[in-house]
Structure 1
C-alpha cells in the first residue's frame, strides 16, 4: 500500500472533514459514503497505513487510543469538530454531556457507524458511513495458531468506570496501589454520567454557610424511612456519617457541589450540586476522569470482565478479560473491586424480578445490565433485595430522558390530564410513581414558570431536547397540553396560596420554595420508568463482598449500584451519587490496605 506522510494525510483529512461536516450540515457533501469509514477514506486515497502505520499486523488497542490520535491529527479534536456545526442546528453531536470521548465511540472504521447518543436519545442523526445502506458481510478472520493467553499483573483491578469505579481507583492509587480500571463500554461515566439532581450529604460546610441545620442522624432517619426501614442500618449509618467527608474529598479534586437544594424524602436541604443547579453527574464524572488521567491510572475501555479468578481456597486472585481487539487475557491481582452498576437496562432481568415492569422504558445507559452482580454471585457472593427495583416518576413521555427531581424540588408541581394536582410532589419516588400510574393515560405534567426555570440551570436542556410545552399565560399553557384552562388556573392559584400561607393543606408538601406566577409558563409530560436497582451484592461496612455464610469473600470488594442494602426498597433522590463516592472511597481504601498486608482480606 502507498504510504502518505503526515502533510498528505492532513490534506486528505481536510477533504474528508468536508464530507463529515456536510453530514452534520456544515458544508455541501462532496461524494458518496460507503458502508464504513474505511471505504470513505479509501475513496479519498487514504491507505490502511495512513491510519494504522506500517506494522505487519494493524493492531488496535482495546481503548482505541492509537487510532484516535490519527483521527484527531486529521480532523481536530471534539471542540474543533463542534465549531464546524451549522449555526442554529438543533443538536451539536460533538458537544455533549459525555465529555471528551474517542472518535471511535461513534465512527467505526470497518463496520457501519452509529451515533452513541441514539442509545438514549431519539435524534434523527446522519453520520458519515452510517447511512441505512446494506452492510457488507464482515471479512472472515484469518485462522491464527493457538497462542498462550497473555497474563498481566496489578495490585487492584476495578471493574466498571462509573463514579464508584473511578473513585475506588483514585483512592487505591493514592494509597500506593497499582490499579487497572476495566470498562466494557467505549466511554467512562456509566449511569453516574446521567445523574441530575445532586448528592445528599449532612453537616457540610456548604450547608453551614447557608444556615441549613442538618445532622448525620437526620440523614440516617430520612434514608431508613424512605427505604421502608429495610435498609441495612450499618450501611446507612456509614452513608450518612461519611457523606460530608465525601463532599470535601470531591471538592479537593476540583468539583463544584456548593449549591444546596432538596429532593423527595429529605427533611432539609441537603442535595449538593454545581452552582446554579447544573446537573451533578456529568460534572463529577468529568472531574473524576480528569483526576484518574492525571494520575496515569490504566483505564481500559471496550474491555469486559467475563470471570473472576479464584484460587483453591476460594480467594479472588484476578480476572479474565475479553478485549474488543485483544481477545481473552488474564490479569492477576491482589484485590478486585466490583463497581459495575445495576441492571435497569436489562429488560429481561427486570421482568424476571418484577413482571409488572415488563415493557417499561428505562432512563439508564445501555451498559447497565447487571454483569457485575452476575460475576460476584457466580463466585459465591450473596445477592440481596433483588426485587427492589425503583421506577422514577418523571421520565419524559416518549423518551428515555430523566427529568430531574430537582425540578420539583425547586417548586414545580405535578398535574394530571384533568389539570389537577394529585400528589405531594416531594414524596418518595415509589409513591409519586404509583400516583402517576393511577392517573388518566398513566402520565402527568410537570408545570413550572420562568422563575423556576431560571433557578435550575439544567432545565434549559429540556428545552434544547424539545420536551417542553409553553404558553404566555396559564390559559395558553392549558391549551398547549390539552387540559381544562379554568381547572389549571385554579390549581396554580391554590398552589400559590399555599406558598403565601406557608402551608399545603391539600397534599402536605413540606417545602414550597417558589410560587408559579412569573410568565412564561411551561409543562413537560412525564411517565414513570425503570430507573434504579436497589438490590445487588451484599457488603459490609468495609466494602467487602459477603458470601451466603455471612463471611467476607477474600480479595473481593464492591461499591455503588452493584451492591444491595443501602437503600432498602426505595432510594431517595441524591443518595446514589452519595453512595457511589462514599463506598467507592471505602472499597478502594480497603483494597489498597489488603495489598499492603492489612487485615481486610
Structure 2
C-alpha cells in the first residue's frame, strides 16, 4: 500500500475510533507513535492510542463560526500557547487540529524544557546564565544556528517558565541533557515526562478561557487576498469542507518526521529508520506556506535520537541518561560519553556491529525518572536483583558488565570519568539494586528544518520580507537549532515562540 493511501486510511480509522470511543470525536486521547512502515502496524498504533481516552472535551462542530480574529493551525504546545496569548490580548482565536486529539508531538516529549536564569534554578542554588545557554546551544548546533533567533530564545526562556507557572503548569524539577553543563532542563515536580503534563495543562487553560478547539479539522489551504493571509480552507471529519476567514493565520503544525517521502527526498540515507513522531507530523504546514511564497531553511537537518526502543518506535527520554544511566554494548562495556550531543551519541551507536545498545541503570535512577514507569508498562525494561543476573538477561558477559559498573562508580566517587570524559549526570552512582536495562537504537526524532521566520514569528519569503498576516512557531519552522538540536530545547521553543506568535499576530490584527 502506498504511503498516501496508508495515511488516509489511518486518519479515517482514527475518526471512526474516536467517534466510537468518545462521542462525536470530542474526547481527548493520546496520539501514539508511528514509525512502523505498514498500514496495519500504524492502524494498531492508532487503535492503542485512541483507546486511552481522557476526559478533555473539544468544541462541537455546530459551534464553528465563519470568521475569527486569528486562526491557529495545529493544537500542540506552540498552537495552544499562541491561542492563550492572543486571547489575553483581547483577540477571538480558534484552534484547528487535524488529528482526533490535541497535543501533537508535544504529548510525546519526555525529558523536559530547557531554560536559564529561572527562579527554580535560583531557588535550588544552580548558577546559570543566558549567555552560557546560548553558547552551549550554539556549540551543539555546530555554530550553524540562526543567532538572532537563538538570542531571543535564551533571553525569553525564564519568562516562559514563569508564564507556565502562572497558569498552573509548574516545572520545578531540574535535570540535565546532553551538550549542557548546567541543570536547566525543567520537569514536572514529580520528575515525570513533561509532554502529557504540559498538554493537559494547556488544554485545561484553553478550555477555561473559552477558546474554541476543533479536532478532526484538516486544514488544506491557507487563503490569501492582496498578498495577505486571510483564512483557511479546512476539511472537517474528512468530508465537510469549509472556508473560514481571519485577519491573521498562525501555523503550528509541527515537522515532517512521519512523512518518509519528504524525509527520503532530503535524506535518503535515513531510509529504514524508525520514527518517534506521531502520525500527524507530515509537513502539511510547510507545504501550505511554500505555496504562499514562504521559504524554508535546513530541510536536510533531521535529528536521529540515539535512544529509541525499536519495536514500538518509542523514545526513551534523555533524562534517563541525565540522571546517571550508562550506555553499554553487547560486549558489556561503555563505548561513549552518554551525555554528548545526540548526533555524536548516535554516531557512536552506529559504529557498533549491532547498531544498538543497552541503557543500564539502578533503582536510584528509576526513582528520579518517573517516565521509566511508563517504559515498564510497555514491556521495555529488563529487571534483575544483581548485576550478574541482569547481564544474563541482557546476554552480555557478566564479568564485563560488573567491571563496567565498578569503574563507573569509582568515576562518580572521584568526579572524573577517565574513559570518556563525561562530566555531567554524575551526582549518583549505580549501586542500588535492583538493576535495570532497556535495549535501544537510533530513530528519526526531530526535523530541524522548516519555514523561515523572524523573532516576531512572521513567515519570510525568499527576499527575507514578512508575508502579511502569516505567522508560524514550533517544529514547522527552521533555523533555531542549526545542525543538531539539544534535548529539552524543543519544548522551550514551542512555548517561547508559540507565545510570541500569539502576541505578534494579535498586534498585527489590532493594527489593521
TM norm structure 2: 0.89
Superposed displacement of residue 180, structure 1: 1.2
Establish whether residue 514 from structure 1 lines up as the match of residue 435 from structure 2. no
Establish whether residue 171 from structure 1 lines up as the match of residue 97 from structure 2. no
**Mapped contact 1:63–1:186 kept (Cα < 8 A):** no
Superposed displacement of residue 66, structure 1: 12
Q: SS of the counterpart of 1:442?
A: coil
Partner of 2:402: 489
Q: What is the CA deviation profile of residues 121-153 of structure 1, one whole-angstrom value per residue up to 9, with x for unaligned ones?
A: 989x99xxxxxxxxxxxxxxxxxxxxxxx9811
Superposed displacement of residue 527, structure 1: 0.5
Cα distance in structure 2, aligned partners of 1:463 and 1:316 = 47
Q: What is the CA deviation profile of residues 37-96 of structure 1, one whole-angstrom value per residue up to 9, with x for unaligned ones?
A: xxxxxxxxxxxxxxxxxxxxxxxx999899956999xxxxxxxxxxxxxxxxxxxxxxxx
**Mapped contact 1:216–1:241 kept (Cα < 8 A):** yes
Gap regions ≥5 residues in structure 2: 1-14, 33-39, 53-63
**Mapped contact 1:120–1:365 kept (Cα < 8 A):** no
Establish whether residue 501 from structure 1 lines up as the match of residue 389 from structure 2. no
**1:426–1:64: structure 2 CA closer, same or farther, 3 Å change rule?**
closer
Cα distance in structure 2, aligned partners of 1:68 and 1:121 = 13
Q: How does 1:84-483 map onto structure 2 within 5 Å?
A: 101=28, 118-119=44-45, 152-311=66-225, 313-324=226-237, 327-483=240-396
Partner of 1:135: none
Superposed displacement of residue 326, structure 1: 5.6
Out of 439, 461, 471, the position equivalent to 1:525 is 439
TM norm structure 1: 0.76
Cα distance in structure 2, aligned partners of 1:122 and 1:586 = 35
Instruction: Please provide the CA RMSD for this pair.
Output: 2.6
Partner of 2:36: none
Question: In the comparison of the two structures, how many residue pairs are matched?
Answer: 479
Q: SS of the counterpart of 1:560?
A: coil
**Mapped contact 1:122–1:399 kept (Cα < 8 A):** no
Partner of 2:61: none
Superposed displacement of residue 451, structure 1: 1.1
Cα distance in structure 1, aligned partners of 2:65 and 2:448 = 35
Q: SS of the counterpart of 1:418?
A: coil
* Rg larger for: 1
Q: SS of the counterpart of 1:441?
A: coil
**Mapped contact 2:349–2:356 kept (Cα < 8 A):** yes
Gap regions ≥5 residues in structure 1: 1-60, 73-99, 107-113, 127-149
Q: What is the CA deviation profile of residues 530-572 of structure 1, one whole-angstrom value per residue up to 9, with x for unaligned ones?
A: 0000000000010000000000111100000000011001100
Q: SS of the counterpart of 1:275?
A: coil
Q: SS of the counterpart of 2:491?
A: helix
After TM superposition, the runs of 4+ consecutive aligned structure 1 residues lying more than 6 A away are 61-67, 114-117, 120-123
Out of 467, 477, 500, the position equivalent to 1:553 is 467
